[in-house]
Amino acid sequence: MADSARPLLILGTRTFAVEVADLACEIPGFSVAGFVENLDRQRCAQRLEGLPIYWVDELANLAQSHSAVCGLATTFRSRFTEQVAGYGMGFATLVHPSARLSSRSSLGQGSILSVGVIVASHTHLGSHVIVNRGALIGHHTQIGDFVTIHPGANVAGACRIGDATYIGMGAIVIDHIIIGSHSVVGAGAVVTKDVPDNVLVVGVPAKIVKENITGK
């Protein structure tokens, strides 16, 4: 990694944070400098992947020289990113070299496009969105902030997905579907009709099996 690469901190210290660090190492312009913990301060006495683990309060001294990206797959990661933003830390947007983001589409701050992701034209992804390995997103689709799209999911064209919704591994969302905020689409589900806010849907075709949830 070139000396000019900006130091990057991964928010989180669990397995997905390690995955994000590995991804970032393959993206020009970034050099992973460590991880950040905000729940268990004792973890900061250890190292992870040979790199330091910083306690979140230390970011006040690192905000001007480092960027951050969140390595939590849960849609509740907004709690961590808001805490970190309070220290003045900026967020990196990671697009793996093997991912394809249309030049006519856009991606918000702190978002991640992993290996083999394809985002078609005229699509907008919000801030702190995670699109995991091999997921496909169609044209003219709108995806809100803090959405998680897991490996192999396929979201068709002209769809709309609300904030902090979780699309499970291998799920399919057909075209022109609206999925509300803070909902969960189970792994392998096939969504053929609109989904309201705060529900869990599973199956083929997907049906509501739980209400009044707050994401995953």
How many other CB atoms are there within 10 angstroms of residue 3's CB atom? 5
Structural domains for the chain: 6-91 (3.40.50.720), 94-206 (2.160.10.10)
pLDDT in tens, 173-186: 999 999 999 999 99
CB 43 within 8 A of CB 104: no
- Catalytic residue status for 139: yes
Catalytic residue (choose from 96, 122, 128, 139): 139
| Residue pointed to by tokens 């220290």 | 87
pLDDT at residue 1, as a whole number: 40
* pTM as predicted: 0.94
Q: State the Cα–Cα distance between residues 162 and 28, nearest whole angstrom.
A: 31
Asked if pLDDT for residue 2 goes beyond 50, the answer is: no
